[in-house]
């Protein structure tokens, strides 16, 4: 239960701060800016990794959890609980943001600015790169070490900086699902539910090809990432 509560809190913080930055940027006439929004997402993930990484791994993302299970670093039986906790945390954050900003139309939902196929491919590649970094800076299913949080937070901010204006740079089904459900912006939700999982799963064989044999072997009891 501690792990699930940690995932709930971490995903709540991610969605509350990240999509909150999007909303506040809109209502304040652009005071935060696109750069500020990208940094907010990266910084909140970094903070949650250092806060919760030793408890649950601070996945904060169903795609990350699924990829860890596919890599043998997390038991498949743990995946449903993690995903439910992540979605619940995200929904709680979006519901609170709806209360605080009742006039916000999209609540920071991720929406493609061009063709759906363009955003789908972008989200696959973005999540692939994110998961490749995560797998290579982590051991087992938890974040460990001072560099892991910096590396993961930095790549999220980097990808949001250049791809955010096109696809929203979600890379996270829970982050996209919650504001979409609460605001009713469901037309393109399928992109952000399918593409991140596909991208994260593609990163698993890529990591295995780069690392020493056995890097994607079943989780050992002494292993510890998000």
Domain ranges of the chain: 2-210
170 CB burial (10 A radius; 0-12, 13-18, 19+): buried
pLDDT at residue 4, as a whole number: 96
Rounded to a whole number, what is the largest CA-CA distance in the chain? 53
Pull the structure tokens for residue 30. Answer: 């652009």
Q: How confident is the model at residue 213 (pLDDT cuts 50, 70, 90)?
A: low
Output the pLDDT for position 57: 87
**Average pLDDT over the chain, rounded to whole?**
90
**Percent of the chain at pLDDT exceeding 90:** 80
pLDDT tens digit sequence for 171-190:
999 999 999 999 998 999 99
CATH number of 2-210: 1.20.1080.10
Q: Are 152 and 46 in contact (CB under 8 A)?
A: yes
- What's the pLDDT at 146? 66
pLDDT at 222 (0 to 100): 27
Q: 141 pLDDT band (50/70/90 cuts)?
A: low
Q: What is this structure's pTM? A: 0.90
**Structure token pair of residue 14:** 């991610």
Nearest to 163 by CA among 151, 171, 174: 171
| Integer Rg of the chain from CA | 16
DSSP SS3 for 143: coil
Consecutive H or E run containing 94:
helix 79-100
* pLDDT of 194: 97
How many whole angstroms separate alpha carbon 195 and alpha carbon 162? 18
Both tokens of 207, joined, read 């990591």
Is pLDDT above 80 for 225? no
CA distances for 149 relative to 146, 155, 196, 217, angstroms: 7, 10, 20, 23
- Which helix (H) or strand (E) segment is 221 a member of? none
pLDDT per position as a tens digit, 36-89: 999 999 999 999 999 998 898 899 999 999 999 999 989 999 999 999 999 999
């Amino acid at each position: 239960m501690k792990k699930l509560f940690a995932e709930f809190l971490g995903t709540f913080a991610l969605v509350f701060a990240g999509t909150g930055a999007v909303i506040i940027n809109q209502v304040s006439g652009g005071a935060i800016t696109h750069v500020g929004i990208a940094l907010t997402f990266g910084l909140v993930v970094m903070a949650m990794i250092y806060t919760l990484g030793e408890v649950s791994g601070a996945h904060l993302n169903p795609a990350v959890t699924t990829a860890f299970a596919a890599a043998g670093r997390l038991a498949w039986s743990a995946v449903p609980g993690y995903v439910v906790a992540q979605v619940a945390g995200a929904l709680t954050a979006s519901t609170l943001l709806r209360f605080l900003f009742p006039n916000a139309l999209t609540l920071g939902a991720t929406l493609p600015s061009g063709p759906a196929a363009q955003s789908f491919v972008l989200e696959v590649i973005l999540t692939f790169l994110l998961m490749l970094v995560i797998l290579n800076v982590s051991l087992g299913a938890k974040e460990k070490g001072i560099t892991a949080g910096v590396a993961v937070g930095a790549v999220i901010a980097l990808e949001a900086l250049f791809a955010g204006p096109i696809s929203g740079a979600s890379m996270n089904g829970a982050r996209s699902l919650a504001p979409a459900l609460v605001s009713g912006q469901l037309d393109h939700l399928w992109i952000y539910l399918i593409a991140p999982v596909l991208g994260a799963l593609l990163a698993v064989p890529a990591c295995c090809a780069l690392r020493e044999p056995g890097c994607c072997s079943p989780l050992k009891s002494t292993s510890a990432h998000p």
